Structure 1
């Protein structure tokens, strides 16, 4: 295995100079940094990835910022982002910053000094706080749109609207939408979509706001029963699972359809349950691709930021 001394010898510099060229290239002449980097790459020196990034004035690190680690929705998004980052010789780190208050910007700025860019999931933060956080480094938002910032959104709002339309077509006369956390951007989008789909066609009851938790789903059962719902569209999978658990083997449970995600429907062998199928892996990959373009200057200052919406299919029970 090659050592720093081998790199220094091949580059014709001292070991100290080689170390500076790999860790702090701004402290040596550009031609010296180039020779050291070339030597490191030729020898397969273990620090060559970091050296390449540092020689370009970068850390080689991007951060994916989520509001919490308790929501399993973020898991495939993180996986997809990490996979694409690795394919481009970048490292992904995950940090928790809800960005709900301006006070959080101090900690966010500390992280900003260590990374080349951000993928930010901030469903509840005010636009001005999110924009301020994104002002220091290239940033791509996930499942949120703010003017002037690049973003990728899984178009669950359209899927929820399609779901309600189909439920009405299938004869459901009382549909409940269980809303998400207060201030959630996606919840506002979904609420508008289900309201528009139900308008003039069926009775729609909107409950919430609720956190995206199993406990919230359990707690909403009395309100669902009071509404005499025949179908429930929950904001989040965890809410739906809690409601299904609370319904249990009650007589009413056989008459209430609670939509869920494909993995849950398949894993539990649920019959007659429509499934919303968000591809979190793709969401993470697309967001990372947009961010790498920004970091590399392919979407630099003065260019129009990309705001992409990815289609979200709804899968219906066989024969339905």
Structure 2
């Protein structure tokens, strides 16, 4: 197997020059870089990824931090981020940390020495704790916004508000929003959006907070029935599925429309059920793309904080195509 020394000898340069030409060609003359690349191609030399990254003062690894592995919402985000990192020849590692206590940055300090940056999903951690962790390495937040930090967010709040508005247009006079976990940033945005959409037009009942679980959906079913609502917008798919299960097990009564996500509606061939269509993989790709740009930036001229909000379409029962919220 050819080595870097073989490439250097064929190109008639030192081993150090060959290394710079293959890892940071801007540091050598263009003709020298071309000669080294030609020698590497002729010999079939493949530079070691880790060595290339170390030559740049980096590890070649980025971390995606999630609060738990129990929430399936995170799975496509991880997949999208991993795909984008792979395109940049970087390794993605997944770490679990809720970032919900003042000592949280301590764990991040240890991790920061092993990675080049973070993609962080921290829906409930205090702003100051999340911000302190983000100061250790280039960091991008997912599905949350904090002043001064770069973030990528699926704009579900707008979609939820649109959903409630359409439900009112369709004749629903009593609607329930089943809220998410206590302290969730997204839950605050969604609650505000559905409240505004229903204001002066329909009676809205907000139930919660609730964990994003099937069991929580089952448990909230009696309260939904007692509210007299004919439509429910749950914070998370798992809550909605638990609610559907519990309502279906009750004696036949007033029909209740429970919104869900597109995959569930299509898989179960549901009729008359509006669906939120969040592209988790694209959200992960966008977050990783933002992080890669920040890692590559000159540390003497850091990039300003940036916010990306991805539109979230709503699929309505009477339309084949998604409706922009």
In the other structure, the counterpart of 1:162 is 162
Normalised to the residue count of structure 2, the TM-score between the two structures is 0.87
In the other structure, the counterpart of 2:125 is 125
Deviations 1:126-160 (A, max 9, x none): 10000000001101100000111110110000000
Question: What secondary structure does 1:291 align onto?
Answer: helix
Q: State how far apart, in whole Å, the 2-side matches of 1:46 and 1:254 are.
A: 67
> What root-mean-square deviation, in Å, do the aligned CA atoms of Structure 1 and Structure 2 show?
2.3
TM-superposed CA distance for 1:249, in Å, is 4.4
Normalised to the residue count of structure 1, the TM-score between the two structures is 0.88
In the other structure, the counterpart of 1:34 is 20
Question: CA, structure 1 residues 134+246, in 2 after alignment: closer, same or farther (shift >3 Å)?
Answer: same
TM-superposed CA distance for 1:198, in Å, is 0.5
Question: What secondary structure does 1:140 align onto?
Answer: strand
Q: State how far apart, in whole Å, the 2-side matches of 1:56 and 1:289 are.
A: 19
TM-superposed CA distance for 1:250, in Å, is 2.9
In the alignment, is the contact (CA less than 8 A) between 1:299 and 1:305 conserved in 2? no
Deviations 1:244-267 (A, max 9, x none): 111124345661000000000000
TM-superposed CA distance for 1:303, in Å, is 3.8
Question: CA, structure 1 residues 210+284, in 2 after alignment: closer, same or farther (shift >3 Å)?
Answer: same
Deviations 1:214-273 (A, max 9, x none): 111111111111111100100000000011111124345661000000000000111100
In the alignment, is the contact (CA less than 8 A) between 1:247 and 1:253 conserved in 2? no
In the other structure, the counterpart of 1:67 is 67
Deviations 1:5-55 (A, max 9, x none): x4345446xxxxx9xx9xxxxxxxx64753796699655556611121111
Question: What secondary structure does 1:215 align onto?
Answer: helix
Q: State how far apart, in whole Å, the 2-side matches of 1:206 and 1:242 are.
A: 17
Of 7, 12, 16, 2:4 maps to 7
Specify every segment of 5 or more residues in structure 2 that has no aligned partner in the other structure, as ranges.
Answer: 24-35, 321-325
In the other structure, the counterpart of 2:323 is none
In the alignment, is the contact (CA less than 8 A) between 2:4 and 2:19 conserved in 1? no
Given the alignment of the two structures, is residue 260 of structure 1 paired with residue 249 of structure 2, yes or no?
no
Q: State how far apart, in whole Å, the 1-side matches of 2:278 and 2:60 are.
A: 29
In the other structure, the counterpart of 1:282 is 282
Question: CA, structure 1 residues 247+300, in 2 after alignment: closer, same or farther (shift >3 Å)?
Answer: farther
Question: What secondary structure does 1:72 align onto?
Answer: coil
What does residue range 294-313 of structure 1 map to in structure 2 within 5 Å? 294-297=294-297, 301-313=301-313
In the alignment, is the contact (CA less than 8 A) between 1:58 and 1:116 conserved in 2? yes
Q: State how far apart, in whole Å, the 2-side matches of 1:200 and 1:120 are.
A: 38
Deviations 1:140-182 (A, max 9, x none): 1000001111101100000000000000111111111000000
